[in-house]
């Protein structure tokens, strides 16, 4: 199962006003400091990574999100995956990348490369897979480059589960921040948070085409079942066509601290999770417990459960092919 929770060595990357800490467990980002302010949700101890249910900072895979019934069809082959959330598979199963200790291939200054090798059949997934995660710092920007190969046809959809509160005070709500998402459509969920439909965002609680305060948007739609079902947002937004390198998929802004974060990605969707299920069982740096909405996650990935949705982009990785995706967070300050 290649799981090892004993390693706590931390890699510290630094460039300009940005400092990022990375752990081998889950290839997790355990801290992001911009201008000396902690803007990513950090757990109280390195030992929590790979074990805490929040998946804070960790790489998600072999497939981010949920897969209904843990069932997957690859060609003519029906596959039963590990069912680690009731009848469904969440973030790849109980031995997914969040719970794997990555090998550090290189780490120097402003760049680190980590690798995990997943054997054929682990949690039901086909193929011996080699996954690499590169963290690269540029001026006020963190780029995550995700690559993978397999010796058999398989399904691969990787993401990062960083949580953000640009104010830096995780005892306060992150829902007062303003969010903009470049998306015309949103995927609706059932009571198990599995996709069941696609809707235009216009005139709904999901219209973030222009910047909106998250809490104010929620208050405008008190009868929205999707929000009550997920204690806030937990939906995939289908990203609009854009130049992935130069046009942000999302922008998060905190006026009180004056911080702005732009998210760039070549992934087709962005899951916005407003942290409704965070609670005191997740202990944070500074000795406080997490609370509902104290941080939000913006998970760039394929459509969740894409294998069961008509017209969804395929996450099939063919034998010998290269999976390659990027996520970049750019930070700026108005002060």
pLDDT in tens, 234-287: 999 999 999 999 999 999 999 999 999 999 999 999 999 999 999 999 999 999
Long-range contacts of 30-33, Cβ-Cβ distance < 8 Å, separation of 24 or more: 30/57, 31/285, 32/142, 32/162, 32/329
> Do residues 46 and 77 make contact, with C-beta atoms less than 8 angstroms apart?
no
Please report which confidence band the pLDDT of residue 314 belongs to, taking 50, 70 and 90 as the band edges.
Answer: very high
Per-residue pLDDT at 151: 98
Instruction: Judge whether residue 8 has pLDDT over 60.
Output: no
Q: Would you identify the CATH topology of the domain 11-333?
A: Beta-galactosidase; Chain A, domain 5 (2.70.98)
Per-residue pLDDT at 87: 97
Per-residue pLDDT at 334: 83
No. of helices (H) and no. of strands (E), the chain = 2, 27
pLDDT in tens, 36-70: 999 999 999 999 999 999 999 999 999 999 999 99
**What does residue 108 show for φ and ψ, rounded to 5 degrees?**
-155, 120
Rounded to 5°, the CA angle 139-133-83 comes to 135
Strand-pair partners of 142: 137, 329
Q: What percent of the chain has pLDDT over 90?
A: 96
Helix (H, G, I), strand (E, B) or coil at 306: helix
The alpha carbon of residue 288 and the mean position of all alpha carbons in its chain are separated, in whole angstroms, by 23
What integer best gives the mean pLDDT of the chain? 95
> Do residues 269 and 303 make contact, with C-beta atoms less than 8 angstroms apart?
yes
Please report which confidence band the pLDDT of residue 9 belongs to, taking 50, 70 and 90 as the band edges.
Answer: confident
pLDDT in tens, 96-127: 999 999 999 999 999 999 999 999 999 999 99
């Amino acid at each position: 199962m290649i799981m090892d929770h004993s390693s706590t060595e931390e890699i510290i990357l630094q460039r300009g006003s940005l400092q990022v800490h990375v752990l081998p467990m889950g290839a997790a980002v355990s801290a992001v400091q911009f201008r000396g302010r902690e803007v990513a949700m950090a757990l109280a101890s390195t030992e929590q990574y790979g074990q805490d249910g929040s998946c804070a900072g960790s790489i998600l895979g072999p497939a981010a999100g949920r897969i209904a019934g843990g069932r997957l069809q690859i060609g003519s082959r029906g596959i039963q995956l590990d069912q680690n959330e009731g009848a469904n598979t969440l973030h790849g199963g109980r031995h997914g990348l969040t719970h794997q200790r990555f090998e550090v291939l290189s780490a120097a200054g402003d760049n680190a490369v980590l690798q995990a090798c997943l054997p054929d059949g682990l949690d039901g997934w086909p193929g011996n897979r080699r996954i690499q995660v590169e963290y690269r710092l540029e001026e006020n920007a963190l780029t995550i480059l995700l690559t993978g190969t397999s010796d058999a046809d398989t399904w691969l959809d990787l993401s990062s589960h960083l949580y953000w509160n640009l104010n830096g005070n995780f005892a306060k709500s992150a829902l007062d921040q303003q969010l903009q998402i470049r998306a015309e459509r949103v995927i609706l969920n059932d009571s198990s948070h599995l996709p069941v439909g696609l809707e235009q965002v216009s005139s709904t609680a999901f219209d973030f085409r222009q910047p909106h305060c998250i809490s104010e948007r929620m208050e405008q739609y008190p009868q929205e079942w999707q929000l009550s079902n997920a204690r806030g947002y937990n939906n995939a937004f289908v990203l609009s066509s854009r130049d992935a390198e130069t046009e942000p998929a999302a922008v998060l802004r905190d006026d009180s601290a004056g911080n702005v974060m732009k998210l760039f990605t070549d992934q087709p969707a962005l899951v916005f999770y407003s942290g409704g299920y965070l609670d005191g069982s997740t202990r944070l740096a500074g000795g406080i417990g997490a609370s509902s909405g104290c941080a939000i996650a913006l998970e760039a990935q394929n459509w969740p459960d894409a294998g069961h949705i008509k017209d969804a982009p395929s996450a099939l990785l063919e034998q010998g092919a290269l999976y390659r995706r990027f996520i970049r967070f750019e930070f700026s300050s108005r002060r």
